[in-house]
């Protein structure tokens, strides 16, 4: 396991997720500084996701013949530029444009990440390599977003985005030092999107990804107003820390078990998320809220690894195309979460948010459970396949 290189990929995921989620912990500071509502500030998450979802598939197709490391470096460099603009601009419109371009960089990076990790590692450890590369997600949620929220409250939200620029510069050096370069795809025809989409198992995986991530982002984007309405508005950073710490445990468990128990992990994560949504909807005390948020984080921690690993197994040699579809669906769900959550926030109030997740998660659980033959088969029926190219 080339840990130094895989951890560099993890830091890329850390920067991607932190750039995406940071406004969720800073809604009040951003809305006050830019003189917009909290729902409008929440659209900084939405526009980022839109940039990713419109870019992932076209960029994957357009860059398939390019060498991998220069492509990865260009995505990281994009974060350095757009986070600098976000930190310095006083214009909501300019910041929205920068956030869209940040999403484009994220779409490119996420489409590369899982394939890069599997190509760097031995074939029998493909799932574990993806888990290591994805550890940046719970780290961003457990450390980055709470730290950003604390810094934003203490010294201003712009400092948080300036730090993101510095991290991107550090990662450029780390990537040049420890991440190997690989050739792009030079021969043969890439399978069409329609062919990959109709591959057995791919559609249930995409549906499960959509509903799971949509449910997550409806609540996570507006966690600050939800906690405010629950009487814990001063504990946003601590709640995010509890969420992220639990997510770290979730990704650790996923990394240990994924190559043998992918189906069980997927079904368990969905069921646990559903239970946490019910608890958060009914909770009226601080301990109950902390338990609900912790269960939610545990369920969410391994989600990216689980869905990306399942899509790589189902698609086989067309794994890179399937990954670009996962990225597109994932970011469509993020954008949808910002829009739907913002609507619910304005129309029915923040306490309605957890209850809105239940129908989505029930549908997610039903489809994942039914996808026994392909998509989420028992471990003995499918083995991880190494993508033939990136």
Burial, 315: exposed, middle or buried (Cβ in 10 Å; 0-12, 13-18, 19+)? buried
Taking a C-beta distance cutoff of 8 angstroms, is the pair 331, 56 a contact? yes
Q: What is the pLDDT of residues 27-39, one digit of tens each?
A: 888 999 999 988 8
CA–CA–CA angle 296, 313, 333 (5° rounding): 40
Two tokens, residue 307: 């869905």
Tokens of 146: 């709470």
- Name the residue among 317, 337, 324 with its Cα closest to residue 106: 324
188 has a pLDDT exceeding 70: no
pTM of the full structure: 0.79
The pLDDT tens digits for 36-63 are: 988 898 889 889 988 988 888 888 778 8
Q: Which residues contact 181 (CB under 8 A, 6 or more apart)?
A: 67, 68, 69, 70
The b/e string for 116-151 (b: 16+ C-beta within 10 A; e otherwise) is bbbbbbeeebbbbbbbbbbbbbbbbbbbbbbbbbbb
User: Mean per-residue pLDDT for 150-157?
Assistant: 80
**pLDDT higher for 195 or 144?**
195
26 pLDDT band, cuts 50/70/90, is confident
pLDDT at 45: 84
Give residue 386's pLDDT: 40
Burial class (CB in 10 A: 0-12, 13-18, 19+), 359: exposed
Average pLDDT over residues 214-239: 88
Cα angle: 78, vertex 64, 167; to 5 degrees: 25
**pLDDT score at 387:** 38
Of residues 254, 10, 312, the one with CA closest to residue 132:
10
Q: Taken in order 2, 140, 284, 46, is the CA torsion positive or negative?
A: negative
For residue 16, give the H/E element and its range. helix 3-25
Q: For the chain, which domains are there? A: 3-381 (1.20.1250.20)
How many residues in total does the chain contain?
390
% of the chain beyond a pLDDT of 90: 44
The band of 189, judged by pLDDT with boundaries at 50, 70 and 90, is low
Residue 66: pLDDT band (50, 70, 90) is confident
DSSP state of 308: H
Phi, psi of 170 (to 5 degrees): -60, -45
**Confidence check: pLDDT of 319 > 80:** no
pLDDT in tens, 70-101: 999 999 999 999 999 999 999 999 999 999 99
Q: At CA 117, angle to CA 113 and CA 120, rounded to 5?
A: 140
The yes-or-no verdict on residue 389 having pLDDT over 50 is no
**265, two tokens:** 């992990």
Q: What is the mean pLDDT of the chain?
A: 86
C-alpha 112/C-alpha 115 separation (Å) is 6
């Amino acid at each position: 396991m080339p840990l130094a290189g895989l951890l560099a990929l993890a830091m890329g995921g850390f920067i991607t997720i932190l750039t995406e989620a940071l406004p969720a912990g800073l809604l009040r500071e951003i809305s006050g500084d830019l003189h917009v509502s909290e729902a409008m500030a929440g659209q900084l998450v939405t526009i980022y996701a839109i940039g990713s979802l419109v870019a992932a598939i076209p960029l994957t197709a357009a860059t398939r013949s390019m060498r991998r490391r220069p492509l990865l470096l260009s995505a990281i460099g994009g974060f350095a530029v757009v986070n600098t603009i976000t930190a310095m601009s006083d214009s909501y419109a300019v910041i929205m444009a920068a956030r869209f371009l940040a999403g484009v960089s994220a779409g490119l990076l996420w489409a590369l990440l899982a394939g890069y990790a599997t190509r760097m590692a031995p074939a029998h450890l493909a799932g574990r390599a993806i888990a290591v590369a994805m550890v940046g997600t719970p780290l961003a949620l457990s450390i980055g977003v709470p730290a950003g929220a604390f810094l934003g409250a203490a010294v201003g939200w712009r400092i948080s985005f300036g730090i993101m620029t510095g991290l991107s510069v550090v990662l450029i050096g780390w990537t040049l030092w420890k991440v190997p370069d690989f050739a792009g795809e030079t021969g043969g025809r890439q399978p069409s999107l329609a062919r990959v989409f109709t591959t057995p198992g791919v559609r249930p995986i995409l549906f499960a990804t959509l509903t799971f991530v949509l449910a997550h982002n409806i609540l996570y984007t507006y966690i600050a107003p939800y906690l405010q309405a629950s009487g814990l508005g001063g504990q946003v950073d601590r709640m995010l820390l509890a969420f992220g710490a639990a997510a770290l445990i979730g990704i650790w468990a996923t990394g240990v078990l994924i190559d043998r128990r992918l189906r069980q992990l997927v079904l368990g994560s969905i069921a646990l998320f559903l239970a946490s949504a019910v608890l958060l909807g009914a909770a009226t005390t601080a301990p109950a809220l902390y338990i609900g948020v912790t269960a939610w984080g545990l369920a969410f921690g391994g989600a990216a690894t689980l869905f990306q690993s399942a899509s790589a197994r189902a698609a086989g040699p067309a794994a890179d195309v399937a990954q670009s579809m996962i990225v597109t669906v994932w970011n469509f769900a993020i954008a949808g979460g910002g829009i739907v959550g913002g609507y619910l926030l304005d129309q029915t109030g923040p306490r309605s948010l957890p209850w809105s997740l239940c129908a989505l998660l029930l549908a997610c659980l039903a489809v994942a459970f039914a996808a026994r033959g392909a998509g989420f088969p028992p471990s003995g029926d499918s083995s991880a396949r190494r993508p033939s190219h990136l």
